[in-house]
Structures are given as structure tokens and as C-alpha cells.
Structure 1
């Protein structure tokens, strides 16, 4: 893994819809990257929440606070010098804006994790642990910002193949990074609204 700015860890930021394979890729990356990394999935933060029922009117605010806390936890881990593999769903524009304000843009490798909608729907049915249609609701929004450092498509490529592609990209990643360009206002960071995830 290439050196990040002194004292700050590298953030490998996997963005894609639910069921696109982000967690599987992250697991493979942790097995093949040379340096110690931490996988920080947003699902783990949702799972920490107490099981009490939440009134419908409270749900949006609670979910937003969960995502905002997740972003700050990632930023804190990287600021302490830890390399982090994040799996994320940029289903609403504010999530990307929040991350752009928190993460050092030069130290972020933004990875687009793509998958065809029919395959996403097949995986969703097979998994049975996601709301039906979640991936379809996210599909048109998660990649709306349009800029990545590296991309992969899990429709046909395995998680291991995608992880190797990302690993091989890291030593030769160009600058400015996608996050640097997005932070400078390129690529529509404040683009169209979208479905949550």
C-alpha cells in the first residue's frame, strides 16, 4: 500500500449499491494488502443501534445521525494513522459532501463498485436480508457524482479479482485524486438527490 500523507492513514472508499459486493471485496482486500487495514462497513454501525422501535417521523433523522457518526469514525481512524477500507452507499448527495469535508482528499482512493440491476435483484432475493427493491432504488443515484480513481464490475468479476485490481492500482494512483477533484468542485458532488441505504 502506498504511503499516505505523514501521520494519516489511507482510506480505500468502496461505493456501490446494496448487494453490489463491497463487503466481499473489502474482505479480500484485507487478505492481500501488505499493510494492516481496518474494514469499516456502514452496516456495522446500523447493527450497533438498539432494537427499540422508531417512529416513522424519527427515522430519517436517526439514519442521518448514524451516517454522520460513521463518517466521523472513519475520519478519526484515518487521522490516527490507520489504513481503512470503507464500504459505503452514496445514496444521498449530503453523504458525499460530508465525507469531502472530513477526509483528507489526497489520502482517499475512491472505488466505484458497479453491478447490473438484474444481478443486484437476483442477489437481493437470494440473500433475503435486505428490503426488496433497495438496490433498484439506489441504482440511479450512488454513482451520480461521476468520478472515481478506479472502478470494478461485480456482474462478472469476482470479489477476489476486484480486490486484486484495486491493490494493483494503489502503487500507481495518479494525482489529483477523485476526491481532490470533487473537493475542488468537479464532477457534481452536489448532484441529484437519491434513495437512502
Structure 2
């Protein structure tokens, strides 16, 4: 069985990852793609109020399980569009540990901070300032196969760039190079 392709969209909250993923599902016609979003995994959790420590532990388990679900889907031969926020170093480290690195097209989804703030206000479903808190963390690793800016390009235009780039993804991939460069240096917690 061939490992499925993983298009991994990383960006702050409200950067446009989910919109790009939906466009990709409409555009990609050389396989069957699934959109796996960390927000969807979070939404499956119980709705009862959790204390800070319990919430932190639950969120870590959720993200750890999310990474393994991505890997399991890909190893089973499924093509995946991942929508994630790598705002803590351990998240990238865990992804580097469990995902098949040569199957990952790592896409940085950027957006200017002012536009992120505006989008959060319009959406109203995120804590104000969440994107600003994530802004300096999400792209800190500094290495992608492809980058898109949703401040200047529409989700459709970003998806078209990704679709057109997919057959030409580099070898080694950014995930492979990050694994070789940083795996030992990234903090575990």
C-alpha cells in the first residue's frame, strides 16, 4: 500500500487555513482527499468546564491523538489536507516524529497581523488576540515547501498554487529537512 500525500497547512488562527482546505478539496482531482482540522478534533471533546490543568492535559492529548490520526490515515493510503496551528514547539516535534516526512507538503499560511485581528473580530468565535499570541510562534521553525499569504491572495488562489506545486514538491521535503536539522534541538514540552 502506498502512503497517502499530506498537504499540511500551518498558520495562526484566522489565517485562512480552513478556507484553503475547502478550496483544495474542490480543486484536487487526482485522488480522494480528506480534510483533517485540529479545530474539528477539539470540537469532539466534552463540553463540561475543565480547570486549567485538566484543560491543558486534554488539549495536549487531543493534539497528540490528532497527529497520530493524520499518520494513520496517510499510512492507510489516504490523501490528507491538514489544517493545524503549530504554536508550541512540541507540536512540530511530535509531527516530525510520527508523520511520514517524505509524504508531507508543508505549507506556511501567512496573513498580516492587522488582517488577522480584523478577521477575529468579524468571526466572533475566537478569543480576541488569539492570532496575535500565536503570530511569532507558528512560523518560528522557518522552513516550508511552499508559502501563501492570505492577506494578498484569496483562498482559491492559494489552493491553486498548492495544487500546481504538489506534483513538483521538493525532495527532500521541508519535513525531512526539519527532522534532520531540528528534531534533537526542539524542546519536548
TM over 0.5: yes
CA change 1:101–1:186 in 2 (3 A) is closer
* Corresponding residue number in structure 2 for 1:176: 172
Contact residue 145 and residue 187 of structure 1 kept, 8 A: no
In structure 2, which of residues 41, 46, 50 is the aligned counterpart of residue 50 of structure 1? Answer: 46
Q: How many residues align?
A: 187
The reply to whether residue 113 of structure 1 matches residue 139 of structure 2 is no
1:140-155 to structure 2, matched below 5 A, reads 140-155=136-151
Q: Report the Cα distance in structure 2 between the residues aligned to 1:56 and 1:181, rounded to whole angstroms.
A: 35
1:87 aligns with 2:83: yes
Q: How far is the alpha carbon of 1:173 from its aligned partner?
A: 1.4
TM value normalised by structure 1: 0.92
Deviations 1:78-100 (A, max 9, x none): 01000000000000000001000
Whether 2:161 is the aligned partner of 1:165: answer: yes
How well do the aligned residues superpose, as a CA RMSD in angstroms?
A: 1.5
Question: What CA distance in whole angstroms lies between the structure 2 residues aligned with 1:189 and 1:43?
Answer: 28
Structure-2-length-normalised TM-score: 0.95
Partner SS for 1:146:
coil
Q: Give secondary structure in 2 for the equivalent of 1:23.
A: helix
* Greater mean alpha carbon deviation, residues 56-65 or residues 179-188: 179-188
Q: Which runs of 4+ in 1 moved over 2 A?
A: 186-189
Query: Residue 134 of structure 1 corresponds to which residue in structure 2?
Result: 130
Question: Which of 20, 24, 48 lines up with 1:29 in the alignment?
Answer: 24
